[in-house]
Amino acid sequence: MRIDVLTIFPDLVSGFADASLLGKARRDGVLDIRVHDLRSVTTDPHQSVDDAPYGGGAGMVLKPEPIVETIEAVDPPRPILYCSPAGRRFDQSWAHELAATDGFTLLCGRYEGVDERVREHVIDGELSIGDYVLAGGEVAAMTVMEAVGRLVPGMLGNLDSTVEESFGAAGLLEYPHYTRPVDYRGWGVPEVLRSGDHGKVDRWRHAQALLRTIRHRPDLIEARGGLDATDEKVLAEFGLRQEWDDAATSTASRGGKGDRSL
């Protein structure tokens, strides 16, 4: 898969793309990440990429020329997505959509954004990672690269990792994880995880994922239509139905917002 990033801070993005599993996938040829400096096509001594807005106002705006001319020079893959708070909210579903393509391009804005003509005539869509304002689109671009890249076959050694994690196939937050030692300062590992009964472990994990989701992201429970027969069964098996009801009641009293602290 090819991912292109258009930015005025190429070192920032390249450094991230070279690190950890993303960097390994890049070196192994699983991901073809190309970072383009918008200043590279400028011809003035100061390599200007921005200018004051017509009509006045605070801040500077990225000019159309460096963006359009960079795109013409490097012929990046489509769609070209502008990282902007006005865009469609990026989520795991969209990550899967992008991972199924041959590639895409991310345009990183700066200052007050980009010239409106870029939005009207050049890009294919806009993408937002949340309702807050950043100094530029580079952090958003890096978020998308990691979320999409880890779904590309060959990046992760264990394919199950992308299925069982948060926002996986069941639409739930991920269940709790434990490792050695069995006991640490009196804090123990649940007996079921040491039982060797893999079917029971899977059911326990599902029940725990349900509880974690209703406590912290009840909107995900609502999106999947509440509890199904399997959910009811695993909660009952581990005596967790009352705990579920209490968590659901607590969430409702907070206006359905859940606890986003974890």
Adjacent-strand bridge partners of 50: 62
CB 55 within 8 A of CB 108: no
DSSP conformation class of 114? B
**Cα–Cα distance measured from residue 108 to residue 134, given in angstroms and rounded to the nearest whole number:** 11
What token pair was written down for 61?
């705006």
- Sign of the CA dihedral with 133 first, then 142, 66, and 37 last: positive
**CATH class given for the domain over 2-149:** alpha beta
CB 150 within 8 A of CB 15: no
CB 252 within 8 A of CB 209: no
Tell me the pTM. 0.85
pLDDT digits (tens, 9 = 90+) for 127-149: 999 999 999 999 999 999 999 99
DSSP conformation class of 191? G
Pairing of strands 183-184, 187-188: antiparallel
Question: What are the boundaries of each domain within the chain?
Answer: 2-149, 165-253
Domain pair 2-149 / 165-253, same fold: no
Give pLDDT tens digits along the chain (262 positions): 999 999 999 999 999 999 999 999 999 999 999 999 999 999 999 999 999 999 999 899 999 999 999 999 999 999 999 999 999 999 999 999 999 999 999 999 999 999 999 999 999 999 999 999 999 999 999 999 999 999 999 998 655 455 555 556 578 999 999 999 999 999 999 999 999 999 999 999 999 999 999 999 999 999 999 999 999 999 999 999 999 999 999 988 887 777 755 4
pLDDT digits (tens, 9 = 90+) for 40-76: 999 999 999 999 999 999 899 999 999 999 999 999 9
Entry field: residues in the chain: 262
**Cα–Cα distance measured from residue 221 to residue 237, given in angstroms and rounded to the nearest whole number:** 20
What token pair was written down for 221?
């429970």
DSSP conformation class of 176? P
| CATH no. for 165-253 | 1.10.1270.20
